[in-house]
Amino acid sequence: MPDATYYRKGFGLRAEVEEELSGDYTGHLVDLLRAQEYVLAAGDVTIRLAREFGFCYGVERAVEYAYQTRKKFPDRRIFLAGEIIHNPHVNAKLAAMGIVILAAGADGFDYSSVQPEDVVILPAFGVTIADFERLRALGCVMVDTTCGSVLNVWKRVESYAKDGFTALIHGKYYHEETRATASQVTKFEGGRYLVVRDLGEAQMVVDYIEGRGDRDAFRARFAHAASPDFDPDRDLARVGVANQTTMLARESLAVGELVGTSMESRFGSEYRSEHFRTFDTICSATQDRQDAVLALLAEKPTVMLVIGGYNSSNTISLAAICAERVPTYHVEDAACIEVDTKTIRHQPIGTKQETTSSDWLPMHGAITVGLTAGASTPNNKIGEAVARVLATRGIDPASIR
């Protein structure tokens, strides 16, 4: 008998929500850019859009399921376990539909107000095993929108834990997806994980493997990012690398290579083949967006605009790639581009603070503005950003047909 409290394939209501979704998230200027090979010229301003940008398959599916859930359960209270995706506009739309976003605490989401007759949507990032079990125990309806690419990472991490390997996850320990991924090791007795944020932290792991580390210092350094009883002497002997799906792909590969090479140089190639595994779990949507932005940068834009939530991992990765080459502005929303004052509110790369800049856009002469957007940014916000850039340069966006 099908489980009437757990859904992960939608409710067959796509046709009923399609118009609403399209009204909320599609954009005329983006359609135009697509139709014109991703280039739009107006006066002295050329806009170039990356060929892969914005909503990915996982986000599209999660947002659609949330809309379907509202249609399916018009009279029930609906909750979301955290943000469905990292985009303030999308989350605000869902909130306006009466969907309540639950706050996260150190031990998971606060389900104290959820009753058995309520509905809880699980986001595209997934939730931890502990959160999942708590909801199961509550007996409420669960609509699980976890992306298939995230489920693939979980499978990989599970296989490491099953075979006695520590899952070394390249990711952000506090990110919902990585927390959910790391929790998968607890399905197996003795399952362990360690999260490294970047190559610098991977180097600390390598130093330990090569005998240069201090056990207590290592444990203290990674206390927030490792399984509770992590012991580097025991748990770095067999390591399997996986990654949060939205990291910088080249950095993830480098992390795996660094650890594998270290094991080989210390203990030999046979040891490496028996004690080290790696698998690239960057999702194809992230990879495609990073490849597309590199292609766009080859066109040498004057300035790059990257649109997406400040806490959106894949947007931050895109902005980091751009900032290595051209002046780059990561904006949370199109509204950050202030036409009247000709200023821009943005989060500089490597910081967690929004700042305002003037003189960000040359006001005279021919310029090319490159544009991309993270996987959680809807097309209407990208179109609105194009319109605001044009208006800042005194071009009426309404004149663009």
Q: Please list the active-site residues.
A: 177
Question: Does residue 47 contact residue 386 with C-beta atoms inside 8 Å?
Answer: yes
Question: Does residue 247 contact residue 171 with C-beta atoms inside 8 Å?
Answer: yes
End-to-end CA distance of the chain: 54
Residues in the chain: 401
Query: Cα angle vertex 116, ends 112, 122, to 5°?
Result: 70
- In this structure, what DSSP letter does residue 298 have? T
CB 246 → ligand SF4: shortest distance, Å?
A: 5
Question: Which stretch in 51-59, 70-78, 100-108, 386-394 sits in contact with ligand SF4 by CB under 6 A?
Answer: 51-59
Query: Does residue number 279 form part of the binding site for ligand SF4 (CB under 6 A)?
Result: no
CB 280 → ligand SF4: shortest distance, Å?
A: 13
Query: Does residue number 285 form part of the binding site for ligand SF4 (CB under 6 A)?
Result: yes
Q: How far is residue 118's CA from residue 138's CA, in Å, rounded to a whole number?
A: 10
Question: Which stretch in 53-61, 74-82, 188-196, 345-353 sits in contact with ligand SF4 by CB under 6 A?
Answer: 53-61
Query: Does residue number 63 form part of the binding site for ligand SF4 (CB under 6 A)?
Result: no
Q: How far is residue 166's CA from residue 158's CA, in Å, rounded to a whole number?
A: 10
> Closest residue (Cβ) to ligand SF4?
58
Question: Which stretch in 65-73, 135-143, 183-191, 282-290 sits in contact with ligand SF4 by CB under 6 A?
Answer: 282-290
CB 178 → ligand SF4: shortest distance, Å?
A: 12
Query: Does residue number 120 form part of the binding site for ligand SF4 (CB under 6 A)?
Result: no
Query: Does residue number 309 form part of the binding site for ligand SF4 (CB under 6 A)?
Result: no
Query: Does residue number 283 form part of the binding site for ligand SF4 (CB under 6 A)?
Result: yes
For ligand SF4, the closer of residues 303 and 382 by Cβ is 382
Which amino acid is located at 89 in the chain? Answer: H
For ligand SF4, the closer of residues 21 and 283 by Cβ is 283
What are the b/e assignments for 260-284, b being 16+ CB within 10 Å? bebbbeebeeeebeebbbbbebbbe
Instruction: Output Rg (C-alpha) for the chain, integer angstroms.
Output: 23
For ligand SF4, the closer of residues 244 and 368 by Cβ is 244
Give whole-number Cα distances, 281 to 138, 193, 287, 378, in Å. Answer: 32, 16, 10, 24
Q: Which residues, listed in sequence order, are joined to residue 105 by a DSSP beta bridge?
A: 108
CB 59 → ligand SF4: shortest distance, Å?
A: 5
Strands 355-357 and 343-346: antiparallel
CB 286 → ligand SF4: shortest distance, Å?
A: 5
Query: Does residue number 57 form part of the binding site for ligand SF4 (CB under 6 A)?
Result: yes
Query: Does residue number 29 form part of the binding site for ligand SF4 (CB under 6 A)?
Result: no
Query: Does residue number 124 form part of the binding site for ligand SF4 (CB under 6 A)?
Result: yes
CB 290 → ligand SF4: shortest distance, Å?
A: 11
Question: Does residue 318 contact residue 290 with C-beta atoms inside 8 Å?
Answer: yes
Query: Does residue number 377 form part of the binding site for ligand SF4 (CB under 6 A)?
Result: no
Query: Cα angle vertex 132, ends 128, 133, to 5°?
Result: 115
For ligand SF4, the closer of residues 61 and 346 by Cβ is 61
Query: Cα angle vertex 165, ends 163, 170, to 5°?
Result: 130
- In this structure, what DSSP letter does residue 130 have? H
Query: Does residue number 293 form part of the binding site for ligand SF4 (CB under 6 A)?
Result: no
Out of 21, 30, 47, 150, the only residue in the binding site for ligand SF4 (CB under 6 A) is 150
Q: Which residues, listed in sequence order, are joined to residue 108 by a DSSP beta bridge?
A: 105
Out of 87, 183, 262, 314, the only residue in the binding site for ligand SF4 (CB under 6 A) is 314
Query: Does residue number 178 form part of the binding site for ligand SF4 (CB under 6 A)?
Result: no
Query: Does residue number 58 form part of the binding site for ligand SF4 (CB under 6 A)?
Result: yes
CB 282 → ligand SF4: shortest distance, Å?
A: 8
- Residue in the structure block whose two tokens are 């000709």: 342
Interface with ligand SF4 by CB under 6 A: which residues? 56-59, 124, 147, 149-150, 245-246, 283, 285-286, 314, 375
